[in-house]
Amino acid sequence: MKRDPIYGTMAEFDTPQALIDAAKRTHEAGYKKIDAYSPFPIEGLAEEIGFHFNEVPLVVLIGGIIGGLTGYVMQYWMSAVDYPLNIGGKPPHSWPAFVVITFEMTILNVPRFAFASKDRFFLIVFSSDKKYHRAETRQFLESLAPRSVSEVPS
Amino acid sequence: MDEQYKTAVDPERAPVIEPGHTFGTVTEKISAIVLTRPASNGWFLGFGIAFMLTMMLLYSIGYLFLKGIGIWGVNIPVGWGFAIVNFVWWIGIGHAGTLISAILLLLRQSWRNSINRFAEAMTLFAVACAGVFPAIHIGRPWLAYWLFPYPNTMKVWPQFRSPLIWDVFAVSTYATISALFWFIGLVPDLATLRDRAENRWAKLIYGMLSMGWRGSARHWHRYETMYLLLAGLATPLVLSVHTVVSFDFAVGIVPGWHTTIFPPYFVAGAIYSGFAMVLMLAIPIRKIYGLEDFITERHLQNSAKVMLATGLIVAYGYGIEAFMGWYGGDRYDTFTLWNRLHGPYAVPYWMLLICNIFIPQVLWIRRLRTSPGALFFVSGVILVGMWLERFIIVVVSLHRDFLTSSWGMYYPTRWDWMTYIGTIGMFLALMFLFLRILPAISIFEMRTLLPEAEVKAE
């Protein structure tokens, strides 16, 4: 497959407000494959570029449930099934004593995944966007009053 | 953002950031400490001393492994000496870092943004120092892995009904989550350093550590969710870790230990000593690196108020302990109370009351809350007091056993002291290194505090 020589067209802005307005107008103009870069999180920016679905909370929830279950089942199996020992007359399955480790395993097992850095704000329209047209897109971005517009080679 | 902006310019209170800074100057000022500023002689001197103390720690641990724990002052009836005292002290100090980074984040206390990074680093290093002690205390440290449940040829498992095993899980979870939280907080700043570093190796290393961070809106969106969730997870840890540590005592039937006040009073004491350590580090750091614009009077005041509040909770804990010793009617508890006040360890007990309860009351005075020198002094006093508290809990309860025939005394040896002072050296050495290779203040969170960062809501 022939690779597009251009990765996208990028506009540069001075303030977070300008970026967020530009992102909104670009999205409204029908560009879908866009992204914005900023040196700190800007509230509402992700929504403006049409990014709504966030899988992080779900992954965390599943990780926590798996961790907690593992912690409890591990203690149950080791103390009550595999090698029951009578310690101080406590039942082999002494659930109150198992709470602490279950809790710790819940927290621990939350998956350890991880996923423009100074003072400017950028907005890019990727060349893979259906509506992307080299000249037109450039013209459109220029209409947003950026500091500059440039093409990003791939 | 709105609230943050308002608190930042509220004329009634000292600002979180001094006025006049922009995105560029904030970035410049913080990253310069790491990237361009040469290491001063003072840094080399401080690091050198700390490094030598670390070597002393290694030496005393080496000798311990050679000879066994007979070189320490522990013996029956006091089987838990300095090792446990220091372990609890260090773990407690770590708590302030987690409180600042997690709980204050959830409570939207934006002033925390300038101290959370090094407070988290402090947590990690304090937990590292704490972790040394149980490992070397068990007598046969090469078998420390027996604490973890792993399939073995003896076919036995750890004793899950024991608080000491709970502690293994609590502390290892705490260390992992603290490290993760710290690293995730660092990623955007590592990207800043990557983009600003001149040195090829620095660029490469910061580049690898920043894991391809570009600051895209998608990154930030996921990042913020992730960070909030981690904070939510770390929040119960602030309360749970020292609670589990207090179970090590409270679950036993030793007089002076077997009480339900222990968990809350341990947690409050942990935060108390933690904030004292934060101030003892922040005051010299802001002075030496000229960060008074970012770590302002406001931070000092707020930390002092937290110390005052948690200190009063601790005082309440002491009061309840004494009250229950008298009111409970158990003769051993009554004796423990009497023994604390008048026994052979009465001097450390009264010093503890002076350090933890009486002297910190000067923080009610506003002028002292804003004076770095006075705060530094009071923080030092609190750290000493909190160390004495753990000494009293561990030693005074143990040295008078139920039968007078098994009474004894505990005297720390020079190896006990060398190991303890050695961990302080290790802590400081790690802190010195941290200051030079990572941004000590979170750059991107500082940017969000600037008025320019504000965007109008739709």
CB B128 within 8 A of CB B430: yes
- DSSP 8-class letter at A57: H
pLDDT tens digit sequence for A23-76: 777 777 667 677 777 777 766 667 666 666 666 777 778 888 888 888 899 888
Tell me the C-alpha distance between B192 and B211, whole Å: 12
Q: What value of ipTM does the predicted structure carry? A: 0.72
pLDDT of residue B188: 80
Chain B residue with minimum CA distance to A92: B161
Could you tell me if A79 lies within 8 Å of chain B, comparing CB atoms? yes
Could you tell me if B203 lies within 8 Å of chain A, comparing CB atoms? no
Could you tell me if A153 lies within 8 Å of chain B, comparing CB atoms? no
A88, A107, A112: residue with CB nearest B173: A107
**Average pLDDT estimate for A81-106:** 84
Instruction: State phi, psi for B239 to the nearest 5 degrees.
Output: -80, -35
The tally of domains found in chain B comes to 1
Per cent of chain A over pLDDT 70 is 53
Helix (H) or strand (E) holding B271: helix B262-288
The residue with tokens 């047209």 is: A133
Structure tokens, A49: 């570029």
Residue B458 lies in a domain: no
pTM: 0.84
- The CB density around residue A52, as the number of other CB atoms within 10 Å, is 8
Residue B201 lies in a domain: yes
Tell me the C-alpha distance between B283 and B374, whole Å: 11
Q: How many CA atoms lie within 13 A of B180 on its CB side?
A: 24
CATH number for position B33 = 1.20.1630.10
- The CB density around residue B441, as the number of other CB atoms within 10 Å, is 24
Residue B90 lies in a domain: yes
Burial degree of B109 (CB within 10 A; 0-12, 13-18, 19+): middle
Contact residues for B242 (Cβ-Cβ < 8 A; gap 6+): B91, B92, B95, B263, B266, B267, B269, B270
Tell me the C-alpha distance between B302 and B111, whole Å: 9
Q: How many CA atoms lie within 13 A of B334 on its CB side?
A: 6
The residue with tokens 């302002």 is: B296
Domains along the sequence of chain A with CATH: 6-39+116-153 (3.30.70.260), 57-108 (no CATH)
Measured between beta carbons, which residues in chain B are less than 8 angstroms from residue A46? 217-218, 220-221
The count of CB pairs under 8 A between chains A and B is 165
Give the pLDDT band of residue A112 (cuts 50, 70, 90): very low
* Cβ within 8 Å, pair B217-A46: yes
Burial degree of B151 (CB within 10 A; 0-12, 13-18, 19+): exposed
A38, A97, A103: residue with CB nearest B160: A97
Could you tell me if B448 lies within 8 Å of chain A, comparing CB atoms? yes
From the centroid of its chain, how far is CA B346? 28
Tell me the C-alpha distance between B244 and B382, whole Å: 23
What residue type is B22 in one-letter code? T
Helix (H) or strand (E) holding A12: strand A6-13
Least trusted range by pLDDT, from A7-11, A81-85, B246-250: A7-11
Chain B residue with minimum CA distance to A38: B215
Distances (CA, A) of A115 to A55, B159, B188, B213, B444: 12, 38, 11, 8, 17
**Average pLDDT estimate for A108-125:** 56
Q: What is the DSSP string of A98-139?
A: HHHHHHHHHHHTS-------SS-EEEEEETTSTT--HHHHHH
pLDDT of residue B341: 93
Task: Report which of residues B5 and A19 the model is more confident about.
Answer: A19
pLDDT of residue A153: 64
Structure tokens, B191: 């990207």
Helix (H) or strand (E) holding B218: helix B217-250
Q: Which of B11, A111, B225, B345 is nearest to B353 (CA)?
A: B345
Full residue range of the structural domain in which residue B171 is found = 2-453
pLDDT mean by block of 10 residues, chain B; 458 residues? 45 64 73 73 90 95 92 90 93 87 77 80 91 88 87 86 89 86 81 76 77 71 77 83 92 89 92 92 86 82 91 93 89 91 94 94 90 92 95 92 90 94 95 84 74 60
Tell me the C-alpha distance between B357 and B360, whole Å: 6
Structure tokens, B251: 């679950």
Tell me the C-alpha distance between B72 and B137, whole Å: 10
Structure tokens, B166: 């709970």
pLDDT of residue B3: 45
pLDDT tens digit sequence for B356-405: 999 999 999 988 888 899 999 999 999 999 999 999 999 999 999 888 99
B86 in the Ramachandran plot: left (φ > 0), alpha (ψ -120 to 50) or beta? alpha
Distances (CA, A) of B270 to B56, B90, B99, B360, B390: 27, 9, 10, 15, 11
pLDDT of residue A151: 66
pLDDT of residue A129: 67
Residue B309 lies in a domain: yes
Could you tell me if A147 lies within 8 Å of chain B, comparing CB atoms? no
B24, B176, B217: residue with CB nearest A118: B24
Distances (CA, A) of B51 to B130, B132, B161: 18, 17, 40
* Cβ within 8 Å, pair A79-B161: yes
pLDDT of residue A147: 66
pLDDT tens digit sequence for B36-63: 677 778 889 999 999 999 999 999 999 9
Chain A residue with minimum CA distance to B195: A117
Give the pLDDT band of residue A114 (cuts 50, 70, 90): very low
Structure tokens, B449: 């505090």
> Which of B154, B160, B446 is the best mutation test for A, with the most CBs of A within 10 A?
B160
Tell me the C-alpha distance between B419 and B401, whole Å: 27
Helix (H) or strand (E) holding A150: strand A148-153
Maximum separation of any 2 CA atoms in chain A, in Å: 82
* Cβ within 8 Å, pair A38-B220: yes
Strand locations in B236-366 (E): none
β-pairing verdict for A121-126 and A34-37: antiparallel
Tell me the C-alpha distance between A38 and A34, whole Å: 14
